[in-house]
Chains A and B, each alone.
Chain A
């Protein structure tokens, strides 16, 4: 399997970016973008499509390699995705007479809504800042009632990857609206805390979620964890804004 992987590279936050196309070949039919990046970084004397030596390492973040940690989020062919959950074969060219071995172009860019650190690494600290403002923690007891267990479980699954914020028309860093990356974790607290204990989270929720969300649910379509964003949003709105407990 052959592919040309084009990467929007940048040496540091202070330098200019440029596209670099790198030919990549593997016999692994299940190879992912993450695998390709690791293999390229291991290749001594790697050259790009123009025959120039590629400056290594290509910087990117990864950890679990099995779509459970959110580290490797990036923009792949225009869509926010996890590199370890994007198989190269998805990009197989469907032209007649093609042996099927050549993939179409694969473009990798850092997420756009966060400051770039280097190459594909962005600084996502704003995600965690926002959660601090949301006060997503337990005061008193957060024991989950059985009927709320599904919701608490679902809301606990957020990877803090930031894909939802990339696609969200209403989110920008430093803005008052915090997006799914904040309302999903908040839904955990809203589903478990007693009415009295949730007061803080509820207030923050109204200010930083309810007031800004257009409910287009673009976030649901890109969430790599497949979180039921739709359901969490409506039930949290019910609890936080309309005080529907039950």
Chain B
């Protein structure tokens, strides 16, 4: 029996591996670095689910509505229903695995997060991702000891192995390079990609980890895997600059009462509160980032926006945000309890990625994707707290889909066996060269200039031209070319969306236009005049049944 190959060991990969193991299906959990190093450990603020423990009469359908509205109705409503319906159970499962959520009278507390009308975000102080990851890693270890999960850390995904092109292409496995021995291996069987967001396309400019280099996404795109929603890049409103990257100031800071202001006529102006009296500082992230962009351009305002957390109680700092305070003191020498913190929007999340259907299948048979690397659930703008949820749930759904198709393990270790012998996997030789830092940064600069919080045709066309020129340069290697194709697809998606929606704001088309109420899909069609093709797939609305 073939093992299922899961690439990526963050929340999505772990969740898929555990779900398969629960179904007695063996998997290889392959990742560049061990789970402890995955971006998922950075998540801070919390995970959403309508647990309804705060006496606010919450229910999954309200969670679904908030998710759809924040995503500007681009997400697949039926898929979002599945996500929000299962969310309370997912949090209960995590609780059972020993996640130390903040509680009161033994019941999970929920906090406010942006764009949501009710308290719905469960949290473990301000290190929720790390605490959840620890529990899931331990759970995966249990199945590892039973022989159901084999971990391959320090193994890099190089490319898919696809069956010969006939009518429908299928995934036969993946080429994987052991970065310690530098040997290449062929892992046969179906593949679930859980490779995280493409932070490495924007080195130094994101809050995430550039270990998620974007190479894998660029590679599979070049191999014909369809991507979607690439123009939707989330700028988080509150980040700070630290050595070599942007560092997040969690939305929980505003959830717990933090207020944004800018100096105007010598006085702090709490612009979000004035402009949005209902949600105030907790509007969805796209709106807050855009407002920050505009007030900073406003000649009557100062250029620096501040996050004022001085009104938060000592209790909140101690019990709910201790890590955030320590971080701000460490990096900025500012104690947020007494002094407002200067903040700026920064790239934080990619709503786009591998295009999947409700069952997390890609356009290639036997290939699945889950977590931040796919384009499901978040539409034009992700709600804070929904991505850990989306990663865990997406991993489950992908695994369930695979489970319908593969056999269960005939016999597995009975648990007494302590040392697991790894199967020998056939080695293959294949030359490979990393993309050069020069090209990576050139592409980054082109994209960063054109794909900011506010965009227009002129800037995007210029990026298009510069990428086309770059592609003509002599001596590019395969990885560099693939990165350029991916960048071209991002820009082309943004050019095609001639409207403003969610994170994609076009100053030349400031209104929403229902012609574009669907995901922009990008696909490479080798041999055609314009190899990168963009099509708008109509958003799928479910019939309202509640």
On A, residues with C-beta under 8 Å from B are 28, 30-32, 34-35, 38, 41-42, 44, 61-66, 68-71, 84, 87, 117, 121, 123-125, 128, 131-133, 135-139, 141-146, 149-150, 152-153, 156-160, 185, 188-189, 192
A-side contacts of B101, CB under 8 Å: 144
Known A-B contacts A62-B211, A69-B37, A132-B144; A137 and B139 likewise in contact (beta carbons under 8 Å): yes
Sample of 18 more A-B contacts, CB < 8 Å, known A32-B244, A138-B97, A149-B100? A35-B243, A63-B33, A64-B37, A64-B39, A66-B247, A70-B37, A71-B33, A123-B180, A128-B34, A131-B141, A138-B96, A143-B95, A144-B103, A152-B100, A156-B100, A156-B124, A188-B134, A189-B98
B92 shortest CB reach to chain A, Å: 9
Q: How far is the CA of A62 from the CA of B103 in the complex (A)?
A: 34
Q: How far is the CA of A71 from the CA of B37 in the complex (A)?
A: 6
- B77-107 contacts to A, CB under 8 A, are 95-106
Q: How far is the CA of A207 from the CA of B102 in the complex (A)?
A: 33
Contact present for A157 and B243 (CB under 8 Å): no
Interface: B138 (CB within 8 A): yes
**Which one, B151, B153, B243, contacts A65 given CB within 8 A?**
B243
Query: What are 25 A-B pairs with beta-carbon distances under 8 A?
Result: A38-B244, A42-B437, A42-B438, A63-B38, A65-B244, A69-B37, A69-B41, A69-B42, A70-B37, A71-B37, A84-B243, A125-B153, A128-B34, A128-B153, A135-B145, A137-B141, A138-B142, A139-B142, A143-B95, A144-B100, A149-B102, A152-B100, A153-B131, A158-B134, A188-B138
Q: Summarize B's interface: helix, strand, loop or mixed.
A: mixed
- B135-194 contacts to A, CB under 8 A, are 135, 138-139, 141-142, 144-145, 151, 153-154, 180
B363 shortest CB reach to chain A, Å: 30
On B, residues with C-beta under 8 Å from A are 33-34, 36-39, 41-42, 95-106, 124-125, 127, 130-131, 134-135, 138-139, 141-142, 144-145, 151, 153-154, 180, 209, 211, 242-245, 247, 327, 331, 418, 437-438, 441
Contact present for A159 and B98 (CB under 8 Å): no
B-side contacts of A69, CB under 8 Å: 33, 36-38, 41-42, 209
Query: Quick one: which of B245, B327, B441 has the most chain A CB within 10 A?
Result: B245
Q: How far is the CA of A156 from the CA of B36 in the complex (A)?
A: 11
Q: Determine the residue in chain A with the shortest Cβ distance to B107.
A: A146
Q: How far is the CA of A143 from the CA of B104 in the complex (A)?
A: 14
Contact present for A156 and B135 (CB under 8 Å): yes
Q: Determine the residue in chain B with the shortest Cβ distance to A59.
A: B179
Q: How far is the CA of A156 from the CA of B98 in the complex (A)?
A: 9
Contact present for B242 and A66 (CB under 8 Å): yes
**Which one, B151, B153, B244, B441, contacts A34 given CB within 8 A?**
B244
B358 shortest CB reach to chain A, Å: 31
Q: How far is the CA of A120 from the CA of B444 in the complex (A)?
A: 27
**Which one, B34, B98, B438, contacts A188 given CB within 8 A?**
B98
Q: Determine the residue in chain B with the shortest Cβ distance to A226.
A: B326
Q: How far is the CA of A12 from the CA of B180 in the complex (A)?
A: 9
A14 shortest CB reach to chain B, Å: 11
Known A-B contacts A65-B243, A132-B141; A156 and B33 likewise in contact (beta carbons under 8 Å): no
**Which one, B42, B141, B142, B180, contacts A64 given CB within 8 A?**
B42
Q: How far is the CA of A61 from the CA of B134 in the complex (A)?
A: 20
A-side contacts of B211, CB under 8 Å: 62-63, 71
